[in-house]
Structure 1
Amino acid sequence: GRDDRAPRSNGERPAYNRGENRTERPSYNRGENRTERPAYNRDDRAPRGDRAERPSYNDRAPRSNGERPAYNRGENRTERPSYNRDDRAPRSDRSERPAYNNDRPFTRGERIERPSTRRISAGRDDRAPRRDNNFDRPRDAGADKNFYPNRDAKGNFTPEDDVVLERLEAQATLAVDVEGISFTDLGLGGNIVAALAELGAPSPFPIQAATIPDVIAGKDVLGRGRTGSGKTIAFGAPLVEKLMENGGGKKRAMGRKPRALILAPTRELALQIDRTVQPIARSVGLFTTQIYGGVPQGRQVGALQRGVDIIVGTPGRIEDLIEQGRLDLSEVTITVLDEADHMCDLGFLEPVQRILRRTANGGQKLLFSATLDKGVASLVKEFLPSPAVHEVAGEDQASATIDHRVLVVEHRDKDRIIEELANRNEKTLIFSRTRAYAERLADQLEDAGIRAVSLHGDLNQARRTRNLAQLTSGRVNVLVATDVAARGIHVDDITLVIQADAPDEYKTYLHRSGRTGRAGKVGTVVTIIPKARQRRMTDLLGRAEIEADYVQARPGDEIIEELAGRMTNKKLTA
């Protein structure tokens, strides 16, 4: 078809003629002769103009004959067979479809009259209002007062699990009740009493005086007492005494099976327990071993092959060794669960149940927990059917030995305030929500000349142990930790706990604050929050049954100097 374009075939293409006749280029001639441009004269293209003669499309039936009713947009549209439902007998009789017919006649006319065809509202009329679900329930039960507690809840936590509603009905023991009582009076042997004196415990604490006689008597014991109340000795000393009965101290066979098991939620706590129990056990010739993850199992397996009497460990590694056939708990007659509530929080409920079921039938169980959750309650129901229940009166979190403060700060001032609070001579523990923030805070304090180390899950076990030892020995005064790692911190002389990130649950607050004010010593807990969090914080403290002062604070304020233990000039001259 290009042969008909005469002007372009003769080589005189004016579009590229750059000479003096440029004005003669017809394609750019904007004047009156514009219609003479041959390249754009469509009239000369006869073959393309006669579109009806195109053979490649001429094999179709004519579109004008009206035989294709589906596309006939004219007056005969009603003849479109594709939409004539009469020809589709099975589908047109919709009333015969039982899956969608609720025993009432159905016509297409009625379909239009239905309240709504939207999926969201059809058939919902008989349901209760949506505000009755768990998210909105607090609005019905006291408006805003109970709203924030449920926001604090995690995972599958439900209101009926609330520990506040299910405090242990415990036999309280006052400090005055144990005045003048010695460990010997409680039934412990001379070697054990001497070992306790070397550990710095010449006389029993209330929780010890309450539980030791029951443990020696063979009773199951459920103890409520915060960390620092002396509960490790409360179960460790009578456990050793109990193993010595009936010539138990003479069992020295190689490869003997363990007879006592102490379970802890974290490696650090297991190590702390062993540091207390081991010297008590050694005083009467018994042996302990630690079994926890994060380290090679060779030494642990070697100790089991030589034979041990008491195992202190975490559920994960203990279950691993059981499955490998390297650990047999069939002769364990005394089992201790320390910080059972935290064990359940970490997801160890089912492993703990499996482990306890492998111990000797009728064995003695001792369970210590600050709170009684649904998970802990299930353990109590299965393994401690009728326990002796004890708590230490006056040893709760509202104890006069702990001063609770809340600093309301601007976000930009937060790190600087933490730095000023931590710049002190006594030991300080700082809590952060994330591992990254813990590491950053430790680095920031080091840059400011404050010796600090971190403790979190990204560190290997050797590093965690070394960092904790640095705090215990006094080589550093500040430890920045995450919640899980800090559960194993049992250092008696921490005098200040700083919560750089406020906790989400009141139970977390209880455990954090339990790191200070230990063994009757005075401690301070400072929580740093932004203004927007005051309401949630107030509710959280209410559920923990704690009263705390709220103070607006900025870097350099007198309240910071006071909390850090640096007396101001005003107070020195007062």
Structure 2
Amino acid sequence: MTDNTQQATFANLGLIPTLVERLVELEYHQPTPIQLQAIPHILAGKDMVGGANTGSGKTAAFALPILQQILQQDTPRRRGNFVSHLILVPTRELAAQVASNVKSYSYHLREQIKTVAVFGGVSVNPQMQLLRGGCDIIVATPGRLLDLVSSNAIKLDRVKTLVLDEADRMLSLGFTEELNNILALLPEQKQTLLFSATFPDKVTTLAKHLLSDPVDVQLQSAEESTLVQRVFSVNKGEKTAVLAHLIKQHQWRQTLIFVNAKNACNHLAQKLSKRGITAEVFHGDKGQGARTRVLDGFKSGEIQVLIATDIAARGLDIEKLPVVINFDLPRSPADYMHRIGRSGRAGEVGLGLSLIDYDDYHHFKVIEKKNKFRLEREQVAGFEVDDDQSEAYFLPMRPQPAPAGTGKKKKKKRNQLEM
């Protein structure tokens, strides 16, 4: 695979010169492994399940063939309020990002190809205006798309290509009803493409019911990742102190911190502020305008520390983000990979840190098992785990003996590594 990737060019994947020239301008020098394997199959009209590490170029893998198919079709593209190609994504921010990428790839064709992003949290009227006369590509969140369909702003019965980006999330229970409603509006004959960094077994089984003789490309590989993973054991109640210490010690240019709840974002930001660290928050209770401003500020480097819920875990491309920290462990093992995948993207070296206390220990073992890796437990100098918790952190679980009442516990040797 490596040798083929080094020899391959976008031109010999079958892409037309206009697209290849644009990729040169964008400094896309060689196709990534997922692009190398996916593009020819998609150009040939095959259904596909495409799995690859975060930051591996999946958007270009499906967007470039779609753009070429639009340019090469013989019939008029835009008529009435119909759409030809539909890309479904789970979050507003990802909808805007994917649409921006598609528009960038088709920059020299902007008079010929119309791409529109539609998502909630903002007024629907400007989006309805953009859809007048139909469009070639819609990038949409499911709820807003159904709103537009019910308002007769768009029709889906002539869709030629359906893409589920972050497909594992799109096929999860939270989107089941909306996705089923959308699928009922689509024609039976279409090309269906599913892309994600993770495909749990249940999702893979469900996905195959949507596809016709699909090509299955799975390229997730810890060995090929440029992301370093580390896990630090801490005493219960000391996570904030350890987090503040790490931020000050390493002076990271940017730090993305994940927690599990909206109120936890604000609470942690307040506690860091008392320790001299200014942090912004990013969660679903913020209005779309505020969310956009915060995310843009973080991407530009104006905001150095961002505390977010999992709405920031999926697909967002933050260039050269040095570190992601799990202050709270994600409830889903798959979300762990999506979170840390905000760092180490596009071949850049990145770091994914997790802070675990006694209550997190078993859940982190589940995350390791599901994602097929094992990390050494480390400690931060000055914040070592108490002796009475060290066995639970670092040794296999065993039946607990009855209280002896006398004698002292033998001190365990603990793994203590400097960052």
TM-score, with normalisation over the residues of structure 2? 0.85
Which residue of the partner structure matches residue 377 of structure 1? 205
Relative to its length, the structure with more helix (as a share) is: 1
Say whether 1:547 aligns with 2:370. no
- TM-superposed CA distance for 1:562, in Å, is 5.3
Structure 2: tracts of 5 or more residues without a match = 385-414
Show the 5 A alignment for 1:159-238.
Answer: 174-238=1-65
Alpha-carbon distance in 1 for matches of 2:142, 2:416: 42
Q: Is residue 271 from structure 1 mapped to residue 96 from structure 2 by the alignment?
A: yes
How far does the alpha carbon of each residue in 1:23-68 deviate from its partner, in whole angstroms, 9 at most, with x for none?
A: xxxxxxxxxxxxxxxxxxxxxxxxxxxxxxxxxxxxxxxxxxxxxx
Give 1:222 shift: 1.0
The structure whose Rg is larger is 1
Q: Give the superposition deviation at 1:488.
A: 4.5
Q: Deviations over 1:430-489 (max 9, x none)?
A: 110111111222344445444432111111111111111111111112221111343242
Give 1:144's aligned residue: none
Give the number of equivalent residue pairs: 384
Contact 1:260 1:311 in 2 (8 A): yes
Q: How does 1:349-428 map to 2 (within 5 A)?
A: 349-369=176-196, 370-381=198-209, 383-392=210-219, 395-397=220-222, 399-423=224-248, 424-428=251-255
The CA distance in 2 between the partners of 1:562 and 1:233, in whole Å, is 39
Matched residue, 2:352:
525
Residue 256 of structure 1, CA deviation: 5.0
Secondary structure in structure 2 of the residue aligned to 1:202: coil
Change (3 A) 1:488 1:436: farther
Distance 1:444 1:306 in 2: 51
Letter in 1 for 2:105: I
Cα displacement string for residues 80-101 of structure 1 (whole angstroms, at most 9, x for unaligned residues)? xxxxxxxxxxxxxxxxxxxxxx
Partner of 1:496: 323
Q: Report the 3-state secondary structure (helix = DSSP H, G, I; strand = E; otherwise coil) of the residue aligned with 1:466.
A: helix
**Which of 502, 507, 516 in structure 1 is aligned with 2:334?**
507
Q: How do residues 200-349 of structure 1 correspond to structure 2 at under 5 angstroms?
A: 200-247=27-74, 251=77, 255-284=80-109, 285-345=112-172, 347-349=174-176
Q: Distance in 1 between matches of 2:35 and 2:256?
A: 27
Residue of structure 2 equivalent to 1:70? none
Look up the match of 1:166. none
Matched, 1:433 2:263: no
RCO higher in structure (CA 8 A, sep ≥6) = 2
Answer whether contact 1:341 1:373 (CA < 8 A) is retained.
no
5+ long unaligned stretches in structure 1: 1-173, 564-574
Contact preservation (8 Å) 1:398, 1:545:
no
Deviation at 1:514, TM superposition (A): 1.6
Once the two structures are superposed, residues 323-381 of structure 1 have per-residue CA deviations (whole angstroms, 9 ceiling, x without a partner) of: 22221012210111011111233511232233133223311111113214435532421
CA RMSD of aligned residues (A): 2.3
- State the alpha-carbon separation in 2 of the partners of residues 449 and 190 from structure 1: 53
Q: TM-score scaled to structure 1, two decimals?
A: 0.63
Identity of aligned residues (%): 35
User: Is the CA contact 1:428–1:496 (under 8 Å) kept in the aligned structure 2?
Assistant: yes
Note the alpha carbon deviations across 1:468-517, whole angstroms, 9 max, x for none: 11111111122211113432422131121110012233212121122111
Equivalent residues of 1:258, 1:308 under 8 A apart: yes
1:76-122 deviation digits (Å, cap 9, x = unpaired): xxxxxxxxxxxxxxxxxxxxxxxxxxxxxxxxxxxxxxxxxxxxxxx
CA shift in 2, pair 1:496/1:177, >3 Å: same
Change in 2 beyond 3 A, CA 1:488/1:206: closer
* Secondary structure of residue in 1 paired with 2:322: strand
Query: For residues 321 and 96 of structure 2, what CA distance do their matches in structure 1 show?
Result: 18
Whether the aligned pair in 2 keeps the contact of 1:404 and 1:549 (CA below 8 Å) is: no
Is the contact between residue 344 and residue 376 of structure 1 (CA under 8 Å) also seen in structure 2? no
AA matched with 2:334: K
Q: Which residues in structure 2 correspond to 1:80-119 (within 5 Å)?
A: none
Q: What is the CA–CA distance in structure 2 between the aligned matches of 1:547 and 1:400, rounded to whole Å?
A: 15
User: Which is further off, 357-366 or 335-344?
Assistant: 357-366
Q: Which residue of 2 aligns with 1:88?
A: none
Matched to 2:206, the amino acid is S
Cα separation, partners in 2 of 1:356 and 1:495, compared to 1, 3 Å: same
1:457–1:485 Cα contact (<8 Å) kept: no
Q: CA deviation at 1:532?
A: 4.2
The superposition leaves residues 411-430 of structure 1 with CA deviations (integer Å, 9 ceiling, x where unpaired) of: 23211111122332322211
1:539 match: secondary structure: helix
